[in-house]
Amino acid sequence: MPDNQELIRERLGNLGLGTCREEEIFRELSDHVADHAAALEARGVPRDAAVRAALDSVFNWPEFREEILSAETEEAIMNYRTKVLWLPALCALTLSNVMLALIQVFGPPPHFYWFYTGKSMQPMIAFFVPWLISQPVVGAVAAYWSRRAGGALRHQLLAALAPVIALLGLFVLILPFSMVLDKHVAHNIRLTAFLVLTVVWVLLPSVPLLIGAAPFLRKPRPQSS
């Protein structure tokens, strides 16, 4: 009698996932069938009948095959995005924040500027010049990592701009809450503060990030086999 893997292979056919991956899948399914059959044998079912019953527990093998292929495709897409986008972006975000924290601790201090409109004083701007100077390194590391992992140009750009994208998302979330919860500050001042923060912490750092990433923004290198 053929072993469990051969019986499963007859029902699923060639999955087209590569020899190693298919062997893993057939081995895992064979183990599940063996466990199910062993449980039936413990209840007094003959071995051959127990194996057939375990295999028959899958009511629709073609549909089961499509589910396996769909799960493998989704997993491959997630693994690809993790390699070419999420990990480089996380690295860029972490590196940028670490540099900012070190500058805040060890200096030099930022340059502060205030806006004066008539008799009112508008929100200040804090320029961390050394932090801005360090951002080309962050953009270069993220773009290079993404390209080496096989990322497309959009992945390289998104990874390099991850620090400012995260800050923009934070500002967008904070503004509505501040308008609802804080009744003591006029809306026009909040909007002015939002625009100032966007310019100083999003648009301005985007320039050095892109400058650092620019030499590495190209089509990914072909992966060696």
Q: How many residues does the chain have?
A: 225
Residue burial 37-50, b: 16+ Cβ < 10 Å; e: rest: beebeeeebeeeeb
Confidence of residue 57 (pLDDT cuts 50, 70, 90): confident
Q: Cα(70)–Cα(66) distance, rounded to whole angstroms?
A: 6
Average pLDDT rounded to a whole number, residues 77-94: 90
Confidence of residue 225 (pLDDT cuts 50, 70, 90): very low
| pLDDT 10s digits, 101-146 | 998 888 777 776 665 555 555 556 667 888 889 999 999 999 999 9
More confident call, 17 vs 84? 84
**pLDDT at position 1, please?**
40
N-to-C CA span, the chain: 38
Q: Cα(29)–Cα(192) distance, rounded to whole angstroms?
A: 61
Dihedral pair phi/psi, residue 115, rounded to 5°: -100, 135
Long-range pairs, 77-84, Cβ under 8 A, ≥24: 80/150, 81/155, 83/149, 83/150, 83/151, 84/146, 84/149, 84/150, 84/151, 84/152, 84/155, 84/159, 84/220
**Contact (CB, 8 A) for 192 and 116:** no
**Contact (CB, 8 A) for 131 and 103:** yes
**pLDDT at position 43, please?**
84
Average pLDDT rounded to a whole number, residues 61-86: 82
